[in-house]
Amino acid sequence: MAITNVGPFTVPNWFYHSADGLATTDAFSFGRMNASGDKISFIVRAPKAGTLNRFVFHLKAVGNNPDNGLRASFQTVDTSTGHPDGTQDQYRDITGTLTATFQVPGLMTSDGTDTGSKRTVALGEPIACVIDFVNFVASDSVDVSWFSSSGFNALSDRSHYMDEASDGSYGIRSDSTPCIALEYDDGTYAVWDNGTSIGVPEITTFASNSNPDERALRFEMPYECQLTGVMLQIDADAAVDVVLYDAASSVIDTISFTAALRSNVDPGFYMAYWPNGPHILDADTEYKISVKPTTTTSIRIINRLFPSSAYLASTPEGVEWYQATRVDGGSWSTDQTRRPVIHLMIDGIELTVTGGGGGATSRTFVG
Amino acid sequence: MAITTIPMITYPGSMPCQATPGSTNSVLNAVNDKMAFVFQCPKAGTLDKAVFEVANVANQPDNGIRVSFQDVDPSTGHPDGVQDQYRDITGVIATGWQVPGLMTSDGTDTGTKRTVTRGQLIAVVIEFVSFVASDSIAIGWYGFGTHIGFRSPPYISNAQTGTYAKDAQGMPMVGLLYSDGTYAVTPNGPHPGIPTQISYNSGTALADEYALRFKVPFKCRMRGVYHVTDADNNPDLVLYDASSSVIDTMSFVSAIRSSGFGGHYTHLWPNGPHTLDANTVYRISLKPGASNVVHWSWLVPSSGWLAAMPGGVEWYLSRRVNAGSWTDVQTQVPWASLILDGIEFTSAGGSGGSHPFIL
C-alpha cells in the first residue's frame, strides 16, 4: 500500500477562518439592537434535509437586559430581496437575565413551546434565523455577534450572510459571516465549511515561562494521509516553535518561526512545511500540533470557543479536534470547548486499507 | 466498496479571493527599484527557473530585466542582495508571464543551478539589468488586503521605491520549475496564476458556458462547490458527466446573496451529494441567462504549468456555445474547488488508482 498523491488541500480550508486574521476585536463584530423594530438575522442554507430543533447564537454584550426577553425565529427568505419575510414561522423566547455568551433557546416551534410544530428544511434551502425583541421596552440593548471581514467582503461567502436591521430596516452586510449553529431534531448539527460557525474567536497570550507554556491542537484524522505542512493563526512577536507530537508526546518534527521573518506585526496566518516531512498520519490516531514559545516574550494564539464539546460536531473538522495544553513538558490537559486555529496541509491519502476495506472507522461526523 | 464519510474538505486547496478578485502590480521605474517574492520551497530539489508576470510595460527596459534567486536575510526577512542564480530577459518584453531561461550562477545555460531543501526560504527578485532613464515596467502580484495575507512567508518584499518593505497584503504571483521537470505546488499559494475574469451570457457568441473540467484521483462524494464568480442574474451551476449529460443543476437566486460584487460562493447540489468516479472527466459549468455573469479563473504560463496548480494537470477550463462540443483551454484554471464529504477506501489488493499530480 502507498499514499496516493492528491492535489494539496488544507483541513479546514483557508477561508473558513479568513476573518480571524484581523485583530479579533474587529473580526468578531456585533449588531446592536436597542430600539423597537431592531433585528439581526442570519441567512444560511441548510446543508442537509431534516427537521430543525433550534439555532444557537452568541451575544457579545448585554447593555441593558431586555425586559421581555429576545425571540429567536426561523423565517422564510424573500427571494426578491434576500431578507427574512417577517413571518415568525417557528420561534422561541429567551427570557430572564441574559448574559454575554452563547444563547441556546428551547425548541423553536410554531407556537413557541415544546409541543408546537418544528421546521422541516430541504437540502440547500435558504433559511433566515432572526433575533428580535419579544416586546421592546425603552433601554433594552443587546449586541448580537457575527464575523466580519471588515471591508474585505469577498472573504465572506456570498451565499451566507448577516442581515442587519439594527436601525429598524434590513441591510445585508457584504462583509459578514454568520455566527450560529443549527441543530436538527436527530441531535446532529449543520456542518458548513464556509466560515459560518458558532465557535467564537478568543486570543490567548503566553510565553515560555507561562503556565501552560504549550498550547496545542489535539486531533485525529479519520483516514491515513500525508501531512506536508501547517497553517495557523498566531501573533509571533517572538521566536516560537510549532511542534508535531505523536500520541505518546514524542516529537515528530518542529517548525521554528522568528519574528523578523514576517510581513506584519498583527495576528494572522503563518504557514510552513515540516522540515523533515512530509509525515504520514495514521487513521484514527491522536496527534498534537503545539505552539511553543521559546522565549519569555509573549506571543498570541487564536482559539475558537464553543458552547460545549458537542458543538465541535458542527465544524468540518469534527469532534476529535480540540485544545490540549501543558507546562514544562508534563502531561496534557484537554479542553473540548476550545480549538486552536490550526490547519493541516495535506497532499496525500492512503486509499487502500487493510482489514477488509471500508477505510476509516465509523465516526460521528455528520454532514 | 462504499464511500466512507469523512470530515468535509474543500478539494483541492485554493487561495481566498479579495473584494475584486484580481491581481495588482508595482511599477519599477528607477535605478534601485526591485520586486521580491519571499516564500518557502515545498520540496527539496534543484531549480531551473521562476516565472513571474509583467503586468505592464510603460517603457521598454533598454537593457532588460533580471530575475534572480537570492537568500533571505534572517534579520530582516528581505533578500540579501546577492544574485546567486539569475537570468536576464532582454529584447522586447511583452506583458504577461515571463518564462526566463535557466537561472544559474552565471546567467547562462551552463552555470550552476540552485539546490534547495524542503521548506527553505528563497527570494525571487526582479530588477533591471542596468537601469536607463525612463525604463518602466510593472510586476504583478496578488493583493489580498492586509488581514488575509500571510504573516510568515509567502509575502512580498516590495522595493518599488528603491528600498525593501514588506507588503502584508501581498501574495507572490510566482511559479517554480525544478530541474526534474516538476513544479512547486502548494494548497494556498503562491500559484503561477493570474486572476482573469470572463463576462458572458446566453447570447455570447464565443461561449455561453464556461466550466471547470476536472478529474479526481480517487472515488469520492461531492456535496457542493466552492467557486469565485459574480453570480448576477440568476445563473445555473450545472454538473455534467463526461458525455455532457446533466447530473445536477443548482439554480442560484441572485437576490439571496450578500453582495453584487464578485466573491466566493459555496453551493450545494440540490439532488446531491453525488459520487465522482476516480480519473473520470466531469464538468461544472456556470450557465447564465440573457444577462451577464462573471467567471473567474487563473491564467497559467502554459499547459505544463497546470501541474503547479493545486488541481494538477486534469483541472482546467472548458467552454462551449449552444450546447455544442466543449473546447478545452489548458492554460486557464477556473477558481473553484469541490466540497467533498466522502472517499472510497478499498481493501488491500484493490487498486488505488493513479493520477499525474507531481509533488
In sign, the C-alpha dihedral spanning B307, B311, B313, B316 is negative
Chain A partners of B338 at a C-beta cutoff of 8 Å? none
Q: Do B312 and A7 touch (CB under 8 A)?
A: yes
The pLDDT score that the predictor gives to residue A267 is 78
DSSP B2: P
Q: What string of DSSP letters covers B288-328?
A: --SS-EEEEEEE-SSGGGGGGSTTGGG-EEEEESTT---EE
Residue B190 contacts residue B309 (beta carbons within 8 Å): no
Task: Supply the pLDDT for residue B351.
Answer: 46
Q: How far apart are the first and last CA of chain A?
A: 29
Contact A15 B12 (CB under 8 A): no
Q: What is the pLDDT of residues B306-345, one digit of tens each?
A: 999 999 999 999 999 999 999 999 999 999 999 999 999 8
Instruction: Give the residue from B3, B234, B339, B345 with the most A CB atoms within 10 Å of its CB, the best one to mutate.
Output: B345
Contact B164, B46 (CB under 8 A): no
The candidate with the shortest Cα–Cα distance to B54, out of B91, B18, B19, is: B91
- Shortest CA gap A175–chain B (Å): 8
What residues in B contact A80, CB-CB < 8 Å? 255
Rounded distance, CA B189 to CA B180, Å? Answer: 21
Q: Report the distance separating Cα A299 and Cα A259, nearest Å.
A: 10
Please list, in sequence order, all residues whose beta carbon lies within 8 angstroms of the beta carbon of residue A248, skipping any fewer than 6 positions away: none
Instruction: State how far residue A283 is from chain B, nearest Cα, in angstroms.
Output: 11
Please determine, for residue B149, whether its predicted confidence score (pLDDT) is greater than 80.
no
Judged against a pLDDT cut of 60, whether residue B190 lies above it is answered with: yes
The set of residues, in sequence order, having a beta carbon less than 8 Å from that of A296 and lying 6+ positions away, is: A207, A208, A209
Shortest distance between the Cα of B93 and any Cα of chain A, in A, equals 30
Which three-class secondary structure state does DSSP give residue A309? Answer: helix
Q: Are A228 and A274 in contact (CB under 8 A)?
A: yes
Cell of A263: 510581513
Q: Do A154 and B10 touch (CB under 8 A)?
A: no
Minimum distance, in Å, between the CA of residue B193 and any CA atom of chain A: 16
Residue type for position A290:
S
| Residues of chain A found within 8 Å of residue B255, distances taken between Cβ atoms | 78-82
Could you tell me what percentage of chain B is helix, strand and coil, using 3-state DSSP and rounding each to the nearest 5? Answer: 5, 45, 50
User: Do A266 and B147 count as a contact with CB atoms less than 8 A apart?
Assistant: yes
Task: Cell numbers for A230, please give them.
Answer: 501547517
How many inter-chain contacts (A to B, CB under 8 Å) are there?
330
Q: Please tell me the distance in Å from A230's CA to the nearest CA on chain B.
A: 11
Candidate from B16, B146, B185 with C-beta closest to A15:
B16
Distance CA A339, CA A198 (A): 12
Nearest CA in chain B to A352: B346
Alpha-carbon distance A115 to nearest alpha carbon in chain B (angstroms): 30
Pair B250, B267: CB distance under 8 Å? yes
Task: Determine what percent of chain B is predicted with pLDDT higher than 90.
Answer: 74
Q: Dihedral of the CA atoms B309, B315, B320, B326 (nearest 10)? A: 140
What are the backbone dihedrals phi and psi of residue B314, each rounded to the nearest 5 degrees, phi first? -100, 10
Nearest to A352 among B21, B170, B348 (CB): B348
CB contact under 8 A, B42 and A273: yes
Rounded Cα distance, B227 and B128, in Å: 38
Q: With an 8 Å Cβ cutoff, are B345 and A263 in contact?
A: no
Alpha helical stretches, state H, chain A: 24-27
Average pLDDT over residues B83-99: 97
Which of B146, B344, B354 lies at the smallest CB-CB distance from A264?
A: B146
C-alpha to C-alpha distances, B10 to A16, A161, B297, B311, nearest whole angstrom: 10, 20, 17, 11
Shortest Cα distance, chain B CAs vs residue A246, angstroms: 21
* CB-CB under 8 Å, A358 with B2: yes
CB atoms within 10 A of CB A62: 17
Question: Are the CB atoms for B211 and B334 separated by under 8 Å?
Answer: yes
CB-based contacts of A187, cutoff 8 Å, min separation 6: none
Q: Which residues of A touch B117 (CB under 8 A)?
A: 275
Test the B interface: residue of A261, A274, A302, A314 with most B CBs within 10 Å: A261
- Cβ separation of B255 and A363 shorter than 8 Å? no
Please state, in angstroms and rounded to a whole number, the distance separating the CA atoms of residues A97 and A120. 31
> Any bridge partners for residue A148, and if so which?
A176
- Which of A173, A236, A352 has its CB closest to that of B350? A352
Confidence of residue B78 (pLDDT cuts 50, 70, 90): very high
**CA B262 – CA B120 distance, rounded (Å):** 35
Residue of B nearest to A83 (CA): B256
Burial B320-332 (b: 16+ CB within 10 A, else e): bbeeeebeebbbb
Cell numbers found for residue A125: 434551502
Q: What is the pLDDT of residue A357?
A: 42
Contact between A9 and B9 using a beta-carbon 8 Å cutoff:
yes
Q: What is the DSSP string of B236-267?
A: EEEEE-TT--EEEEEE--TTSSS-SS-EEEEE
Q: How many CB atoms lie within 10 A of CB B133?
A: 10
Q: Please give the average per-residue pLDDT across B226-249, as a whole number.
A: 92
**In chain B, what residues touch A123 (CB-CB under 8 Å)?**
268, 270, 272
From chain B, pick out residues whose CB is under 8 angstroms from the CB of A6. Answer: 11-12, 217-218, 355, 357
Cut 0.95: pTM above it: no
- For A9, the 3-state DSSP assignment is strand
In a 3-state reduction of DSSP, which class is residue A314?
helix
Q: Looking at the predicted structure, is the pLDDT value of residue B90 above 50?
A: yes
The per-residue DSSP string of B79-135 comes to B-S--SEEEEE-SPPPSEEE--S--BTTSSTTSPPEEE-TT-EEEEEEEESS--TT-
Q: Check pLDDT > 70 for residue B21.
A: no
Distance CA B356, CA A47 (A): 32
Residues in chain A within 8 Å Cβ distance of B186: 8, 345
pLDDT in tens, B58-67: 999 999 999 9
Partners of B188 on chain A (C-beta within 8 Å) are 10, 14, 231, 271, 345
Taking residue A13's Cβ as centre, other Cβ atoms within 10 Å add up to 28
> Under a CB-based contact definition with an 8 Å cutoff, are residues B161 and B143 in contact?
no
**Candidates B5, B77, B272; nearest CB to A260:** B77
Chain A nearest CA to B134, separation (Å): 31
Cα B117–Cα B123–Cα B127 angle in degrees, nearest 5: 150
Tell me the average pLDDT across B288-313.
93
Q: How confident is the model at residue B23 (pLDDT cuts 50, 70, 90)?
A: confident
**In the 8-state DSSP scheme, what is residue B16?**
P
Contact list in B for residue A79 (CB cut-off 8 A) is: 253, 255-256
Q: Are B167 and B158 in contact (CB under 8 A)?
A: yes
Tens of pLDDT along chain A (367 residues)? 687 888 899 998 876 665 554 444 456 788 899 999 999 999 999 999 999 999 999 999 999 999 999 999 999 999 999 999 999 999 999 999 999 999 999 999 999 999 999 999 999 999 999 999 999 999 999 999 998 876 555 567 888 889 999 777 899 888 788 999 999 999 999 998 788 899 998 889 999 999 999 999 999 999 999 999 999 988 889 999 999 999 999 999 999 998 888 888 877 889 999 999 999 999 999 999 999 999 999 999 989 999 999 999 999 899 999 999 999 999 999 999 999 999 999 999 999 887 644 444 433 333 3
- Alpha-carbon separation of residue B79 from A57, A341, B150 (angstroms): 47, 30, 17
* Residues of chain B found within 8 Å of residue A230, distances taken between Cβ atoms: none
Please state, in angstroms and rounded to a whole number, the distance separating the CA atoms of residues B225 and B220.
14
Q: Do B310 and A15 touch (CB under 8 A)?
A: no
Give this complex's ipTM: 0.91
From the list A150, A158, A272, the residue facing B147 with the nearest CB is A150
Q: Quote the minimal CA–CA distance from B227 to chain A in Å.
A: 10
**A328 and A249 Cβ atoms separated by less than 8 Å:** no
- Min distance B262 CA to chain A CA atoms (Å): 7
| Gap between the Cα atoms of B96 and B193, Å rounded | 11
Cβ separation B310–A80 shorter than 8 A: no
